[in-house]
Amino acid sequence: MTSPIRIILADDQALVRGGLAALLAMEPDIEVVAEVGRGDELEAAVVRHLPDVCVVDIEMPGGDGITATRRIRQDHPDVRVLIVTTFGRPGYVNRALEYGAGGFVVKDTPARELAEAVRKVNAGETVVDAQLARESMAAGPDPLTPREKDVLREALTGARIADIAAELHLTQGTVRNHLSSAIAKTHTSTRGEAAREAQVRGWL
């Protein structure tokens, strides 16, 4: 008899996490071996429980699910990741796949389809919600450089130019150049608007 697919669930909403666990536990070939509610708890759970697939939300305390995906895929390349989230932003899809996720689906995916997505990701296939795939193609690639993203993340907090420069160890002139470029690329007028637009598109 084939061993069941061992999965870890990572979601900060206990009710949602419990619901996913209950649905997936009904599948005879899937076993939920652990649940975590924070992004920074996921890797320790992977080390402890040795899952086949991690089913991961994006927005969690202690680190977002896409960053956690990158760490897991770098440190534990045999472990697959399926992103299951409410936030189906096109930029999130592209970043998640870039960082090694095997799939990206939304939380209202029917239980049978979710279980099938787990099986496909475990088998090394890529699974992306069809609507999100179309939106991602229409949105095009992320135009921001890593440094522009760093600067915009700081701008989201309302930080001043001098504060951003100090935090990122850049000159104020360099920060202004990055912000100007990001404003142009996001077709906005201010650094605050640029940061919010980049966040909405899933680029941050």
Q: How far apart are CA 110 and CA 86, in angstroms?
A: 14
Each residue's pLDDT expressed in tens, for the chain with a length of 204 residues? 678 999 999 999 988 898 899 989 899 999 999 999 999 999 999 999 999 999 999 888 888 898 899 999 999 999 999 999 886 676 788 888 888 999 999 888 888 899 999 999 999 999 988 777 666 665 667 888 889 989 998 998 889 999 999 999 999 989 999 999 989 988 898 898 999 888 877 788
- What global pTM score does this model have? 0.71
pLDDT score of 2: 79
pLDDT score of 135: 67
pLDDT score of 132: 74
pLDDT score of 180: 92
pLDDT score of 201: 78
Helix (H, G, I), strand (E, B) or coil at 34: strand
Task: State the SS3 of 102-147.
Answer: CEEEECCCCHHHHHHHHHHHHCCCCEECHHHHHHHHHHCCCCCCHH
Contact 29, 4 (CB under 8 A): yes
Question: What are the DSSP E strand ranges found in 11-52?
Answer: 30-36
pLDDT score of 98: 84
pLDDT score of 125: 94
The HSE-up count of residue 65 (CA atoms within 13 Å, CB side) is 30
Go through the domains of the chain in sequence order and give each one's CATH number.
5-138 (3.40.50.2300), 146-200 (1.10.10.10)
Residue type, 4: P
Q: What is the pLDDT of residues 96-124, one digit of tens each?
A: 888 899 999 988 888 889 999 999 999 99
pLDDT score of 198: 85
Give which of 120, 48, 112 is closest to 81, Cα–Cα: 120
Q: How far apart are CA 58 and CA 144, in angstroms?
A: 20
